[in-house]
Amino acid sequence: MRTETSVYVSMTDEENPLSTVSPQPFSLDDGEWPTAEHYVLAMQFEDPALRAEIRSVLDPQQARKLAKRHKRHLRSDWESVRRVYMTRAIYTRCLSHPASARALLETGDKRIVESSLYDYYWGCGRDGRGVNTYGEVLMDIREKLRSAGAVSPVPPASQTHAPPD
């Protein structure tokens, strides 16, 4: 159920700075990652060569296909650590890209919902009964950014003043 107290995002919307596929490169774990999606997909595997291969593909869709081809080699603890890796990726990206952090802070106190109809772990699922882990990750990072004062939100245009002549 959509309400005014919620913000809906899609992990696959390249235009949305809160999406995992938004092209906002960042450095983490001795690598430069083109998107958060690349990072999280690569961290599913322990093989450094496979991680590097995923990191090097041009777009998140190619990274997803490559990871899917190797799914039988997923790390054994992936279910228990995937949220941690997603959190690390998005938090690091926010620190690297203040506009991304501001977009997250501008959601205020609204509940953030990942609107995937098919993903019941990261998203809300077709019936709204999904875990919405990605939304929870974003809300946790938003709180961490606030408490750390890492990025100050941009004031609304009505509050900005031109410098005197």
Q: Was domain 6-150 assigned CATH 1.10.357.40?
A: yes
Q: How far is CA 1 from CA 6, 113, 114, 160, in A?
A: 10, 11, 13, 36
Beta bridge partners of 9: 114
Q: Residue 152 has what pLDDT? A: 53
Find where tokens 């990942």 sit.
114
The closest of 20, 2, 161, 15 to 93, measured between CA atoms, is 20
Task: Parse the chain into domains and list their residue ranges.
Answer: 6-150
**Distance (Å, rounded) from C-alpha 18 to C-alpha 16?**
5
| pLDDT tens string 97-121 | 999 999 999 999 999 999 999 999 9
Structure tokens at 105: 């802070």
Task: Write out residues in the chain with pLDDT < 70, as ranges.
Answer: 1-3, 150-165
Q: Residue 159 has what pLDDT? A: 37
